[in-house]
Amino acid sequence: MDILVLPGWTSFYISKGIELDIMISMKGLEEFTFTDCLEHASVADIEGISISFLHINQLIANKKAVNRPKDQIDVIVLEKIKRIREVE
């Protein structure tokens, strides 16, 4: 698979329309190293491959810092998910 890698951000499709974004730095998370983020990451198995995802708190912090209209919507949804998880 050929992957175009851009400094700081890369996106590619792995299969069945699943897009994977790889970022090495993110707004709102400047105080965290990659290792910090990885230690708190959630891990999902996608077609036999373990993929780490930002912890929901870090994702919310990033979305708030970026603050585009679509990120504002994401924050609302992510905060609802977080509240549901806290109840469970």
- 29-54 pLDDT, tens digit each: 999 988 898 899 999 888 788 888 89
What is the pLDDT at residue 14? 75
Domain limits for position 61: 9-87
Q: Indicate whether 3 belongs to any domain.
A: no
The torsion angles phi and psi of 16, rounded to 5 degrees, stand at 50, 35
Q: Indicate whether 2 belongs to any domain.
A: no
Q: Indicate whether 59 belongs to any domain.
A: yes
Place of tokens 């998880």: 85
What is the pLDDT at residue 79? 97
Q: For the chain, where are the alpha helices, taking DSSP H only?
A: 34-40, 56-66, 69-87
How open is the CA angle 32-33-35, to the nearest 5 degrees?
120
Counting the structural domains of the chain, the total is 1
Entry field: residues in the chain:
88
Q: Indicate whether 71 belongs to any domain.
A: yes
The torsion angles phi and psi of 71, rounded to 5 degrees, stand at -70, -35
pTM of the model: 0.75
